[in-house]
């Protein structure tokens, strides 16, 4: 069983190295083409409440991230940081937005 675990770990390490290399190559290629790594325009996320009311969690957010650029998302508790991140990852639905990535 230890041998299987060692082989599995080695396989995962090789896979991770391959994925990192692929991502780095893609980032370099896309940057050379002048494309941003991530671009979001007009992001809006709404939740429908009981009684038909709507709660607007995120409204009209724009974001442009270039290759090798680092950002931080800061805000008060309950301001929509997590909803914004989940919608960028397309784990929750957003409206009236354009999401693109390299």
Q: How far apart are the first and last CA of the chain?
A: 41
Domain that holds residue 20: 1-34
Domains of the chain: total: 2
Q: Nearest CA to 99 among 29, 60, 87? A: 87
Over residues 64-71, the mean pLDDT reads 85
Domain co-membership, 51 together with 83: yes
Which pLDDT tens digit goes with each residue over 35-46? 788 888 888 888
Q: Percentage of the chain surpassing pLDDT 70?
A: 74
pTM here? 0.58
Match 């639905």 to its residue by tokens: 93
The pLDDT of residue 82: 92
DSSP 34-64: T--SEEEEEEEEEEEPGGG-EEEEEEEEEEE
The pLDDT of residue 17: 74
Domain co-membership, 66 together with 95: yes
């Amino acid at each position: 069983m230890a041998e299987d675990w060692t082989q599995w770990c080695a396989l995962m390490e090789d896979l991770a190295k391959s994925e990192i290399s692929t991502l780095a190559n893609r980032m370099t290629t896309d940057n050379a083409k002048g494309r941003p790594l991530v671009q979001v325009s007009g992001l809006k996320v709404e939740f429908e409440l009981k009684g038909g009311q709507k709660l607007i969690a995120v409204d009209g957010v724009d974001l442009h991230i270039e290759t090798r650029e680092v950002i931080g998302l800061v805000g008060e508790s309950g301001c929509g940081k997590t909803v914004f991140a989940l919608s960028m990852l397309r784990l929750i639905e957003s409206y009236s937005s354009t999401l693109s990535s390299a």
